[in-house]
Chains A and B, each alone.
Chain A
């Protein structure tokens, strides 16, 4: 890994085969331009953190990658192949799993049914996939028949992650998994994200909790009103005093 402390416009660390590539991505909601030309790369096997304050465009970025939004300009490439413009229900077959902001589990379905929904793209539900999720999250196993709407916030987050894993994603998009959770639960969830990554899933992690996210990630990008303000190896971002002051102060635990 590069040891340079100098912040580069393009990210620092070695990017092997780029699994995901965003090039000049512009996305708008009507007249409001939320992304003003973003370049971002996620290499296979990496954990990349996407940071930034409220309204910076983090969620918009993830929603564009998973096909919920169509870019006005620029491209999204997965293993070099253009995927922008493909609808989200087809994109799941390309190996993209998305854990949306605010968890959004199916409240009136049981834990098991939520996980089965995650495997919707397959003919049937593979019990090995189910077991994998229950092993990662034993609390879900205990509550498999409980309605998802009655789970605690932390359990719902686990379910949302488990549900995304059921589609066997190569690339997992996580949108603020720590939102509204107690520090202990956040820690548990971050440990599990690392475990998922070690099992071979590439992760693009959106977080406000910058210190923790950079502790987990190899590289990071900081968004500021729709543009990449800084990017680089996680250690460099953590060490840079300007970044600490501007972005990490509020997010630090």
Chain B
């Protein structure tokens, strides 16, 4: 692999990784407040892609939109994806998880419910939108190519990366600087005591799902722009992003971002080195490798847990 090729793959890896990172945040946020691996998050992602597809089919971009219009269309796709994701995640929490919480159901029941919800949603999508892959309408002319340290960067990649980075920064600020963010962190650490402080736990959990849903849905649109939109498209990115959240330390938001980036880069670099059929293996080798040395993930240390 030449140095030039390496850079090309690396850039691709960073772009893919940034999408994994945004999805992984959804897993880690929900895990934080509920100690639940929300396996239906992959369907939040998938429905977000359909959201983008539907909105850009209704408001179809012309053949060669101007640069400014392109940005507008991407924003529309992101917004629609985010909206679909948010509604799906909100509904999931209300319909599937909240009743279990009320009854104090054991963890295993939550997990089975999550898997069941995932099956239900992607089969529903297959029924509603058909089982054939659909192309995401192009929001821009994908011609211009930038060069970054010798790596070719096209408009798609630039927009994807930009949008993902903006979402990550926004989320990080929200969690660390706002009142809702403090509520989310407090519930993640000790929900009962957070309640004593006046945090409405139900509200915080519901909003956490919505935030994860916005990110997951928007990521679904982004992912759909360089693959295709299909009812089962959530599975592989979902499981990879979940692995990324675990690699970074489940429950830790910056860990999810780091893990997502790592797995995206590893997955992409595996292709030229070992061949395309090894693509998804690389990421899981990293997962196992990291967990062997750090069972709590890279940033998942537990600081002085008391009783």
Contact = CB atoms under 8 A, between A and B. Distances in A.
B193 A107 contact: no
A106 B303 contact: no
Interface string B179-207: 10011011001101111111111000000
Contacts of B102: none
Nearest to B305: A107
Contacts of A92: 196-198
Given A109-B189, A149-B303, A149-B304, A121 B198 contact: yes
B197 A102 contact: no
Contact of B189 (A88, A102, A106): A106
Nearest to A122: B198
A105 B197 CA distance: 11
A177 to B, nearest CB: 14
Interface in B267-307: 302-307
B185 to A, nearest CB: 7
B306 A104 contact: yes
Contact of A107 (B179, B192, B200, B304): B304
A147 interface: yes
B195 A89 contact: yes
A106 B198 contact: no
A103 B307 CA distance: 9
Contacts of B185: 106, 108-109
Given A117-B182, A147-B304, A89 B190 contact: no
A107 B197 contact: no
A98 interface: yes
Given A108-B189, A117-B186, A117-B194, A156 B306 contact: yes
Interface in A49-68: 66, 68
A188 interface: no
A113 B305 contact: no
A252 to B, nearest CB: 25
Nearest to A151: B304
Contacts of A79: none
Interface in B190-233: 190, 192-201
A106 B304 contact: no
B304 A163 contact: no
B182 to A, nearest CB: 6
Given A113-B182, A120-B183, A108 B303 contact: yes
Contacts of A109: 185-186, 189
A118 interface: yes
A89, A102, A149 interface centre (most CB from chain B within 10 Å): A89
Contact of A93 (B182, B198, B307): B198
Nearest to B307: A102
A12 interface: no
Interface in B137-182: 179, 182
Given A107-B189, A120-B179, A120-B183, A88 B303 contact: no
Contact of A117 (B197, B302, B306): B197
Given A107-B304, A107-B306, A149-B303, A100 B193 contact: yes
B174 to A, nearest CB: 15
Nearest to B251: A108
Given A106-B186, A108-B189, A88 B195 contact: yes
A5 interface: no
Given A104-B190, A104-B193, A106-B193, A120 B303 contact: no
A98 B196 contact: yes
Sorted nearest first, the 8 A-B pairs with minimum C-beta distance are A149-B304, A121-B198, A149-B303, A92-B198, A102-B307, A88-B195, A120-B197, A106-B189
Interface of B: 179, 182-183, 185-186, 189-190, 192-201, 302-307
10 contacts: A68-B196, A88-B195, A92-B197, A106-B186, A106-B189, A107-B189, A107-B304, A109-B186, A120-B179, A149-B305
